[in-house]
Homo-oligomer: A and B are copies of this chain.
Amino acid sequence: MTDKATNLTFHSGSILRADRQRLLSQKGVCLWLTGLSASGKSTIACLVEKALLDGSKLAYRLDGDNIRMGLNRNLSFSADDRAENIRRIGEVAKLFVDAGVIVLVSFISPYARDREQARAAMGAGDFLEVYVKVSLAEAEKRDPKGLYKKARSGQITGFTGIDDPYEPPLKPEIVIDTETSEPQQSAANIVDYLQQNGYLAA
Binding site for B on A (CB under 8 A): 1-2, 4-5, 7-8, 11-12, 14-15, 19-20, 23-24, 38, 40, 42-43, 46-47, 49-50, 53, 56, 58-60, 62, 65-66, 70-71, 74, 84, 88, 91-92, 94-96, 98-101, 121, 142, 144-145, 178-179, 182-183
Contacts and interface: CB of A to CB of B under 8 A. Distances in A.
Nearest to A7: B43
Contacts of A121: 70
A100 B20 CA distance: 14
Residue from A8, A47, A100 having most chain B Cβ neighbours under 10 A:
A8
Nearest to A66: B95
A100 B103 CA distance: 13
A98 B98 CA distance: 17
Contact of A56 (B11, B12, B23): B23
Given A40-B4, A99-B101, A178-B1, A58 B24 contact: yes
| Nearest 6 Cβ contacts at the A-B interface | A11-B46, A5-B144, A71-B91, A60-B99, A4-B144, A70-B91
Given A5-B145, A23-B56, A99-B99, 15 more contacts: A5-B144, A12-B65, A14-B46, A14-B50, A15-B53, A15-B59, A19-B53, A20-B58, A24-B58, A58-B100, A60-B98, A62-B95, A66-B95, A71-B92, A71-B95
A202 B44 CA distance: 27
Nearest to A42: B8
A116 to B, nearest CB: 17
A187 to B, nearest CB: 10
Contact of A99 (B4, B8, B96): B96
Contact of A43 (B4, B50, B88): B4
Contacts of A1: 40, 142, 178-179, 182
B11 A43 contact: yes
19 contacts: A1-B40, A2-B142, A4-B38, A4-B144, A7-B43, A7-B183, A8-B42, A8-B144, A11-B47, A14-B46, A58-B99, A60-B95, A66-B98, A70-B95, A70-B121, A71-B91, A71-B92, A88-B88, A101-B101
